[in-house]
């Protein structure tokens, strides 16, 4: 069966510090991968999606970037965090039938 791992579950980082969130998927190959951010009480904002290794599409211009160094690994990064980067970050994968499944999420607080 397929599983998705996302870590850490919670993170507190100072303004201006770097960020690296990692997501890995097991039990499938060539999944579509997604990063979302959800501000408190708000909907899901699509940040990046990837249909293959090295193929990243950005939805919202901001100080975040994403990389897919391996088929089932998706990384969200920032060189310098802003207060506005606080939120609930979610990684998801989808397969051929377009159903998508989420990781447990990372709650990021920038202080």
- Chain residues binding another protein by CB under 8 A are 32, 34, 36, 42-44, 46, 49, 51, 57, 59, 90, 92, 94, 97-105
Cβ proximity to another protein, 44 vs 53, nearer residue = 44
Which tokens belong to 82? 């802003």
Taking CA atoms, 66 is separated from 2, 11, 23, 102, 107, in Å, by: 22, 18, 11, 17, 18
Tell how strand 3-7 and strand 19-26 pair up.
antiparallel
Comparing CB distances to another protein, the nearer of 14 and 61 is 61
Q: Which is nearer to another protein, 61 or 97 (CB)?
A: 97
């Amino acid at each position: 069966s397929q599983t998705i791992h996302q870590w850490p579950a919670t993170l507190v980082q100072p303004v201006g510090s770097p960020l690296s969130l990692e997501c890995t998927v097991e039990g499938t190959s060539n999944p579509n991968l997604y990063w979302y951010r959800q501000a408190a009480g708000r909907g899901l904002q699509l940040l990046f999606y990837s249909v293959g290794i090295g193929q990243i599409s950005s939805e919202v211009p901001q100080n975040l970037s994403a990389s897919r160094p391996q088929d089932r690994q998706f990384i969200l990064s920032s060189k310098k965090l802003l207060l506005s980067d606080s939120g609930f970050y979610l990684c998801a994968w989808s397969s051929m039938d377009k159903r998508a499944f989420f990781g447990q999420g990372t709650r990021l607080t920038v202080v």
